[in-house]
Amino acid sequence: MAYHAYSGKILFVDLDSGKSAREPLPENWCVEHLGGFGINNRLCWELMTPGTPPLDSSNPVILGAGPLVGTLAPGASRIMGNTRFPLTGAVASASGAMGLGARLKWAGYDHLVIRGAAYRPSYILIDDSEAQIIPAEDLWGLDIHDATDKLWETHPGSSVLAIGPAGENLVHFSLAIIDKCATLGRGGLGAVLGSKKLKAVVVRGSGGVKVADPKGFLRIVNNLYRRMERWELKDAALALGMIGGWEIYLNQLASGVSEEERERIKEAFGPQAYLEFERRRISCPSCFLGDKDRLGWDMRSTCSTSFLNAAILGAALGLNNAKEAVLLLDLLDRLGICFFTYLNLYLFLLDLKEREITDIKRYGEFLDLNGLKGAIKLAKSIAFRKGLGDLLSLGWDNIIDYFGSQAEEYASVIRGQDCIYDPRVSGLGTMEFEQLVSPRGPTSASAGSPTYLPGLPREKMVRLTSRMGVPEDALERIYPNDQAVNVGRLTRYAEDWFSLFSSLGVCNRHQINRLYHVDIFRDLFHAATGIDLTPKEIMECAAANWELYRRLNEREGLGRESDRIPSSWLTEERISRREGTLMDYSRKKRLTRKDLMQLLDDYYDERSR
Amino acid sequence: MKEPSPEKKLRVVEDKCTGCLNCALICSFSHVQEFNPEKSLIRIKGTPELLSIEIDDRCDHCMLCAKYCAYGALEIARTGS
């Protein structure tokens, strides 16, 4: 078979021996798994030994870019990173972007498998067909931005995935950052790379991606651009990027606060503040959105994962203004600490301290939880594992063991990873519910669906769900009547939809997701690869990829029995500065533990079909 | 390759470039039927913080790059305008 859209090769780099090898991408895997997420899972299945400790050199890191990556398909820039993560123990798949996936493809590879550990700090350089392991003692200890800048000086035109001090010091919720803007690997990818003494992966490629039917492919891409042009919120999305959806976030950030504080949050961290800091929007390859930012203030500027992340930090921690929030996010990005977990840890400690729940006074010098100075100190103590930071760096299970069962009530944690969405505030849509069942533990992206927009009429919900390739009979079960939405059942298809995006290599942010339809994906995949699957078959591949993901984790003893409902979801007490009552996604019906258990049964019933 | 159009000129506003590479992807696709920024007649250079746009002398001003630029970094200017 002539590979179209695929590069047709997997690059294996062995850090133990310093050697690399190229293997052909099995043709049947392209048909069975599509690419990206799916083939990464298959590689995990084939290469990983169950029970491998996450920070052992035998734990591989697998990066993969789907067949649409490196083309002009809107949003096709995703790189998927699989490994066994230290925070949860899950064999999980993380999703990132910027230029790494496209450059891997242009260098001639669909997947990169990194095994073993270097005996000294090193980085991998992939420059077209050349793959080298290069000493990196001069980079070790640098923050992610400084290390990336140095690598760009040496290797212009490359994409750089790098870790910071948190990864080097094996912090269990450290991550890697691509091109200073895109995170990869919440849950400890940074630590896994750090355990391999691997500071960075640098990729440059001068090849290209050819598709099977160029005219047909371009026709579909042009239709997608026309859809984007017709979108009524396009101008706001282009002008404001991620902060364009500010009102939705504001409701989360200002839960239970006074009207006065809500106004302060709006003014300090909202669109007006963003425009003061924005210097340049930054896009991933082939994406119109520009969801990353170059931010500037005084005489400084920095690349940022997004001003929105800074706004979330600033509002939740009660920082004084956007400048403080941008400074804190910049520090976390440079250190390579997941800002979600940092934020949740900070608020957890605040709850313990304010309620005098446990004796945390012994760490008093590290516990200034009031303002930027203390927040910076806490971040550094985690990254460099000093005092309380050393305890925190090992993750939630360790923290809860230490502080005791009373403290556990204040930790919204599932499978060892903290929740991103609090359903007491936003209602229980698929994104909130999926936190219970995701093999990886709570993530931000893997279960988008129409429940994101409460109040839609049933007819529109059904239409939007149909575009996700959901079969007719399942629609009857998901929407049994005019009022009800079975979020448990819908979540199965939201995951499959995410699996499809991630296997093909397309970002599923809602601004991108809304452009696509299963029929469009079918046509695009066919025009790109020449592989002729029906929409039903392509969704069956996506579902099988997710099923394999589940089985990978069942093999590690992380199956359904690991699902856990956090007690914080079932209380009205103010926790992590948020409060509310657990409601369904439309916020009309109160939910109980029994309701959640039933939804879990429904989810697994739907998954088994 | 076509002759450059005498009526149209490409106006470049580097500050608006987000680095999405859509211009380079459509350019190479149009000229050599592959998505390959290295074979594009428009080059985006630098890092996300500081990007520059270079246009090859062989550019025939087909303006496809401007059509795919969502942020107005590339605009079609009529000569004399």
CATH code, domain with B73: 3.30.70.20
Which residues span the domain enclosing B30?
A: 8-78
Please give the Cα distance from A196 to A86 (Å, whole number): 13
Looking at residue B8, its pLDDT comes to 75
In a domain? residue A483? yes
In a domain? residue A87? yes
Contact A294 B48 (CB under 8 A): yes
**What CATH number should be reported for the domain holding residue A353?**
1.10.569.10
Q: Which residue of B has its CA nearest to A282?
A: B18
In three-state secondary structure terms, A121 is: coil
B80 pLDDT tier (thresholds 50, 70, 90) = low
Sorted by sequence, the CB contacts under 8 Å of residue A411 that are 6+ apart come out as: A344, A348, A396, A399, A400, A418, A566, A568
Task: State the helix-helix crossing angle for A307-317 and A259-269, rounded to 10 degrees.
Answer: 150
Q: What pLDDT digit, counting tens, does each position of A486-516 carry?
A: 999 999 999 999 999 999 999 999 899 999 9
Structure token digits, residue A284: 């991933």
Q: Judge contact between A104 and A86, C-beta under 8 A.
A: no
Does A506 lie in the same domain as A381? no
Contact B18 A301 (CB under 8 A): no
Measured in whole angstroms, the distance separating CA A503 from the mean position of its chain's CA atoms is 14
Question: Which residue spans within A213-372 are E strands per DSSP?
Answer: 278-282, 292-297, 300-304
pLDDT (average), residues A152-181: 98
Does A555 lie in the same domain as A500? yes
pLDDT at residue A128 tops 90: yes
In a domain? residue A565? yes
Does A561 lie in the same domain as A502? yes
From the candidates B31, B47, B52, which should be mutated to test the interface with A, based on the most A CB atoms within 10 A?
B47
| Least confidently predicted of A452-461, A600-609, B37-46 | A452-461
Please give the Cα distance from A344 to A469 (Å, whole number): 35
In a domain? residue A3? no
Contact B20 A283 (CB under 8 A): yes
Q: What pLDDT digit, counting tens, does each position of A204-219 carry?
A: 999 999 999 999 999 9
Which residues span the domain enclosing A261?
A: 243-402
pLDDT at residue B81 tops 50: no
In a domain? residue B54? yes
**What CATH number should be reported for the domain holding residue A23?**
3.60.9.10
Does A426 lie in the same domain as A391? no
User: In the listed set A204, A230, A261, which residue is the last one of a domain according to the structure?
Assistant: A204
In a domain? residue A227? no
Looking at residue A145, its pLDDT comes to 98
Please give the Cα distance from A130 to A76 (Å, whole number): 25
Place of tokens 């010091």: A169
In a domain? residue A220? no
Please give the Cα distance from A79 to A103 (Å, whole number): 10
Does A306 lie in the same domain as A248? yes
What DSSP element (H or E) covers A165? helix A165-168
Whether the complex's predicted ipTM surpasses the cut of 0.90: yes
Q: What is the C-alpha radius of gyration for chain A, rounded to an integer number of angstroms?
A: 23
User: In the listed set A402, A426, A451, which residue is the last one of a domain according to the structure?
Assistant: A402
Please give the Cα distance from B35 to A210 (Å, whole number): 6
* Count of other CB atoms within 10 angstroms of residue A53: 12
pLDDT (average), residues A108-115: 98
User: In the listed set A347, A370, A402, which residue is the last one of a domain according to the structure?
Assistant: A402
In a domain? residue B3? no
Contact A102 B45 (CB under 8 A): no
Contact B48 A303 (CB under 8 A): yes
In a domain? residue A237? no
Contacts of B71 in chain A (CB under 8 A): 238, 281, 290
Q: What pLDDT digit, counting tens, does each position of A438-477 carry?
A: 999 999 889 999 988 888 899 999 999 999 999 999 999 9
Domains held by chain B: number: 1
Q: What pLDDT digit, counting tens, does each position of A516-575 carry?
A: 999 999 999 999 999 999 999 999 999 999 999 999 999 999 999 999 999 999 999 888
Does A436 lie in the same domain as A366? no
In a domain? residue B24? yes
In a domain? residue A120? yes
Does A311 lie in the same domain as A390? yes
Sorted by sequence, the CB contacts under 8 Å of residue A484 that are 6+ apart come out as: none
In a domain? residue B2? no
A108 pLDDT tier (thresholds 50, 70, 90) = very high
Instruction: Compare CB distances from A288 to B20, B33, B49 and report the shortest one's residue.
Output: B20
Sorted by sequence, the CB contacts under 8 Å of residue A230 that are 6+ apart come out as: none
Contacts of A70 in chain B (CB under 8 A): 35
Contact B47 A152 (CB under 8 A): yes
Contact B25 A286 (CB under 8 A): yes
Contacts of B29 in chain A (CB under 8 A): 72, 214, 218
CA distance A572 to chain B (A): 44
The DSSP string of A428-480 is B-HHHHHHHH-TT-S-SSTT--GGGSTT--HHHHHHHHHTTT--HHHHHHH--
Q: Say whether residue B25 is in contact with chain A using an 8 A CB cutoff.
A: yes
Does A112 lie in the same domain as A193? yes
Does A196 lie in the same domain as A49? yes
pLDDT at residue A10 tops 80: yes
Domains held by chain A: number: 3
